[in-house]
Amino acid sequence: MSKIKFVIKRNGATVDFNKNRISNAIYRAAVSVGGRDKTAAETLSDKVVEYLENNFPGKSKFHIEEIQDAVEKILIENGHAKVAKEYILYREERKQKRESNARQGTRPSENIPWSKIWQIFDWAVSNNLHTIDLLNERIEKGEFKEVVDLSEKLYEHDVERAAALITEKIDKLKMVMITGPSSSGKTTTTIKLEERLKKKGFRFLPLNVDHYFFDLEFHPKDEFGDYDFETPQALDLELINQHLHELSEGKEVKIPYYDFKSGKRTLNHTAMKLKEGEILLIDSLHALYPKFSEGIEDELTFKVYLEPLLQMKGPDNTYVQWTDLRLIRRMLRDQKFRAYNPQQTLEHWHYVRASELRNIIPYSNNADYIVSSGMPYEIALYRNLLLENFSEWENIYRNNVLREDAYKRASRVLKVLQAVKGVSDDSAVPAKSVLREFIGGSLYKY
């Protein structure tokens, strides 16, 4: 049994020591450079504990930085330089992010072009929808349906523009990729783009990237032991890239099949080949990740990036955060369609967010077009659906040092939901709205 009992976090809180968090961190770093040996990660974590106990006899409480320093040392000394480098880089990225947040606070993403953000903001101001108070005024005047119609029209205009730009590349185009962080509306937007482009004579062949997941036993975990499906390294990126090259060259490939019930993948399962005039259609979190389409010429692809770029100020004169909209959307979708408790979604979101900040959002500038799926009216619907839950979660996590992230998110979202006037009747929302992907009632089959 380890002599190490406690860990001091960066915020000064003291928590119980858990060796699994070391092995999980080492394994995540290894996965990032192509390694998938969990036994080796566990052995290395044992060496970290042994090093700390031998070099600091009698010490039972360590600061998190001391433990991370020891991890770097053990990795390097045991011949895992690449893993150590990845671990060090990730550690430095997290440090810079903490320092940036401390200096500047919350601000719009620098990865989304300011011209796009300004377009959405200008629209919001023109329609008196740039603050929660103004939204409340319109709801109180009985204008909720009008707000819904205006919001949906803006989104549909974005989708139409993306379709028009895709059409301009038709001569050499081989694949259209729809990407964006979790719950940004990729599935509905993919369907809508396909509808428009089919009317123009396009023919599509969908590629389900989920079939390229590695077996569940090889997936990295977060610090709480939760499997991470969000990281690009959960996918066989090398095989995806190989198949995209071969399909674009007119060759036949055999894509794998992933069984989510068993967590197992079967290779060479389904034959696929692009026919003359067909275009590959891909809906994926990681379509902009460099290794996904590495080496494929830009003229062969069109990449659409999704994000709910809501420009609305709420409590404390701060903007409603896009990640909070997506968190709520995913809670509702997971509960309605995946039998997943919303509280579990909140507890897992810190890992979703960490992965997208590192592996998805930084590459948004590589998109050919950005579609905003944010609807100013959606927070009014969310109040009645989740207000009580967020109030409960804020209390549950208030003094839980291991769930600090969940507490901060619950507290922030609660303020937004308390500030907005709730609308319980969602009949004004079109049956083909992107929001129906999350609240239910869609005419589309997902």
In percent, the amount of the chain with pLDDT more than 70 equals 93
pLDDT confidence of 1, banded at 50, 70, 90? low
* Per-position DSSP letters for 251-282, written without gaps between them: --EEEEEEETTTTEEEEEEEEE-PPTTEEEEE
Residue the block writes with tokens 């967590």: 263
DSSP state, residue 401: G
The pLDDT tens digits of the residues spanning 270-284 come to: 999 999 889 999 999
**Of 96 and 56, which is predicted with more confidence?**
56
Note the pLDDT of residue 10: 74
Chain Cα centroid distance, residue 8: 29
The pLDDT tens digits of the residues spanning 319-376 come to: 999 999 999 999 999 888 777 899 999 998 988 888 888 889 999 989 999 999 999 9
In percent, the amount of the chain with pLDDT more than 90 equals 59
pTM attached to this predicted model? 0.79
The two tokens of residue 207 are 């590629």
The pLDDT tens digits of the residues spanning 239-288 come to: 999 999 999 999 999 999 999 889 899 999 999 999 988 999 999 999 99
Note the pLDDT of residue 109: 53
Least confident residue range of 13-27, 136-150, 370-384: 13-27
**CA triple 136-141-147, angle to 5 deg:** 65
Q: What is the mean pLDDT of residues 294-306?
A: 95
Q: What is the mean pLDDT of residues 431-444?
A: 96
Q: Which domains does the chain have, with CATH numbers?
A: 6-104 (no CATH), 114-439 (3.40.50.300)
Residue 88: pLDDT above 90?
A: no
Least confident residue range of 177-191, 222-236, 295-309: 222-236
The pLDDT tens digits of the residues spanning 91-150 come to: 666 666 555 544 444 444 557 778 899 999 999 999 999 999 999 999 999 999 999 999
The two tokens of residue 223 are 């610090």
pLDDT confidence of 435, banded at 50, 70, 90? very high
Q: What is the mean pLDDT of residues 184-198?
A: 95
Q: How many CA atoms lie within 13 A of 37 on its CB side?
A: 10
